[in-house]
Amino acid sequence: MTYMRPAQIEKESMRIIAEELKERGIALPAQNAAVIRRVIHATADFDFAENLVFTPDAVRLATEALKRGAHIVTDTNMALAGVSTAGLERLGGEKHCFMADADVASEAKKRGVTRAVCSVEKAVSLYPGCIYAAGNAPTALFEIAGQIETGFSPALVVAVPVGFVNVTEAKEKVFSVCEEKKIPCIMAAGRKGGSTVAAAILNALIYEASETEDPARRGW
């Protein structure tokens, strides 16, 4: 067996993805291709070639925000861990997850709401121009939609929770509000998604913003 370096593995994986997309007759929109390929790479699921939905110019606007040092907030520590720290540092940004914070837990218990709701409220308070990525909690998306309707203006909403209860409804709600208010949004239509998908989308944007889509430029 010939062992390949991480950069070689990633390049070969992307070559296979491009080849299989061609075989399936799928041509990715140029402006969204890097994000879609990265999600397929992370999940081995070609359904994402068709169920990732983007508001106009979402990728361009998000990468511009990252170049300005936008912070990223996630709804799970799993997604947080998957986001490239080195890539964000190159851009002057930081990443956060407030779900396990004591003040979030206390406030959620006192009000009888989910931690995801209070996490969004904390993000709005601390980082009003952040990129907010939800890969798990539909309630986070409902709260984001409400906050946007009352003035919250995030740089991007990543709406990709996975599951069966209120997931599709939450995604469609926040996407609709984002369209109306001209807020960039990337959504995984239907039930599929998850923290892995959220992290993959964020990394694709980080790599594009920092011009390190080639893994060799990341020092691999």
* Amino acid in position 48: F
What stretch of H or E contains 142? Answer: helix 138-149
DSSP structural state of residue 100: T
Catalytic, 71? Answer: no
Residue 59, C-beta contacts closer than 8 angstroms, at least 6 positions apart: 31, 32, 34, 35, 186, 205, 208
| CB 98 within 8 Å of CB 119 | yes
In 3D, which of 114, 131, 156, 155 has the Cα closest to residue 72?
131
Q: How far from the centroid of its chain's Cα atoms is residue 148's Cα?
A: 17
- Per annotation, catalytic residue among 41, 90, 96, 181: 41
73 DSSP β-pair partners:
96, 132
Catalytic residues: 41
